[in-house]
Structure 1
Amino acid sequence: MPTSAEWLVFLGASALFAILPGPGVLYVLARSLRGGRADGVRSVVGNGIGASLHVLAAALGLSAVLATSATAFTVVKLAGAAYLVYLGVRALLDRNAGEVAVPAARPRRSALRQGVVVEALNPKTALFFLAFLPHFVHRGEVPAAVVFVVLGLIVVAMAMAVDLLVAFFAGALSRLVAAHPRWQVRERIGSGLTMIGLGGALALAER
């Protein structure tokens, strides 16, 4: 486990990672504005699950493949970018979203599922855990893989806490948007373009 001094560095760096906007938090923002606080919270849980998968993959050494294989990194990156663009285009074409805050016919669980996919297909998250966590894992009585997972889940929990704040504030704004049809249309277009932009940025991202 990290020493006392290393814990301060670890928690400070983890807080910075949680605060910096990325595809996950921006997806939560867009989803909360469109579907309200409930959808926002579901998307946060989805992001947390997706990030936890990266932690487990890194602990098992699978994320090393992304770090060493340009092909694997590109495949995952383009898959994530394509999914974000797909979500953005669907938001732009979903004209019913301009009439109600959350379409009744749309399953609530889609927010959670989409959050999992968005974060799981973000190779930057995998590389972050692979590059960051080993600095705080030392040989000792506790197996290194267990320490790695524990530290990774702490990072995920901190990121989820920030995402929840975004979901609650954006969810409150969605109620104001719901009272103005024109703003609903603008919000739908803005959310769609945001996700398409995120997809484009992820597609152009370098390791």
Structure 2
Amino acid sequence: MQFSLWLALAGAGVLISFTPGAGAINTMSNSLTSGFRRSIWGILGQQAALVVHVVIVALGVGVLVASSPVAFNVIRYAGAAYLVYLGIRQFLSKPVVDQEQAAALRNEPVWSMFRRGLWVNLLNPKAIVFFLAFMPQFIRPEQPLLPQYLVLTATVVVIDILVMWFFFAFAAKSFQRFTHNAGGQKILSRIFGVLFVAVGILLALIH
């Protein structure tokens, strides 16, 4: 991949990552409940889903998903339902005042955080359609394809990790002062619950 083309890819990747969405909300929520450092596990789960999307598009399956209303809608509504479920659970969560309970929440198993991040991004058919439009701009069919896909995937993943961790997760740290009392926890739970539900509804309604 030519350096000028890679620079264009990196610039597009930055813009994509900074676009608020379910991944950003999930990252900020993890940072608040489990801490800035441990939020990386949810981010890595989101990247695993991103890699799956790239593979799906590279193999041509993405074209089938995008052209099949049934398959597209099944994935879309499943993703929307999952986000709404996360939002309702967050909205109804009770403030943590017991030290042992707070410690358990902060020490959520890394696999649980990884799995949630994976499903948040994986159940988003819009991402497949986006990569169908995005990837061909940076792939030259006359050149070996595998190295190009590897460079594209590595670039997008690294950029998204940096943006999610050092922007969205770090930004959530400014809200941590609200987590020290029941009232603040309740407000944050309501805010992030509504955000998850709103993104889920948008995913279901926007075609």
- TM-score interval (norm. to shorter): 0.7 to 0.9
- Flag structure 1 segments of 5+ consecutive residues without an equivalent: none
What corresponds to 1:12 in structure 2? 11
Q: Secondary structure at the match of 1:21?
A: coil
Distance 1:46 1:176 in 2: 27
Give the letter aligned to residue 192 of structure 1. G
Distance 1:148 1:108 in 2: 28
What corresponds to 1:134 in structure 2? 136
Give the letter aligned to residue 65 of structure 2. L
- Flag structure 2 segments of 5+ consecutive residues without an equivalent: none
**Deviation at residue 68 of structure 1 after TM alignment:** 1.0
Give the letter aligned to residue 154 of structure 1. T
Please report the TM-score for the alignment, with normalisation by the length of structure 1. 0.87
Aligned positions of 1:58-69 closer than 5 A: 58-69=57-68
Distance 1:101 1:131 in 2: 44
2:31·2:38 contact (CA, 8 Å) conserved in 1?
yes
2:54·2:153 contact (CA, 8 Å) conserved in 1?
yes
Query: Number of aligned pairs?
Result: 203
What corresponds to 1:184 in structure 2? 185
* Cα shift readout 1:141-168 (whole Å, capped 9, x = no counterpart): 52x2442243133112211110011213
User: 21-30 vs 147-156, which deviates more?
Assistant: 147-156
Change (3 A) 1:198 1:56: same
Give the letter aligned to residue 204 of structure 1. L
**Deviation at residue 91 of structure 1 after TM alignment:** 1.5
Distance 2:109 2:134 in 1: 37
Distance 2:6 2:106 in 1: 46
- 1:119 corresponds, among 101, 118, 121, to 121
2:95·2:185 contact (CA, 8 Å) conserved in 1?
no
Aligned positions of 1:1-207 closer than 5 A: 1=1, 3-97=2-96, 100=102, 103=105, 106-140=108-142, 142=144, 144-165=145-166, 166-170=168-172, 172-173=173-174, 175-206=176-207
Distance 1:108 1:139 in 2: 39
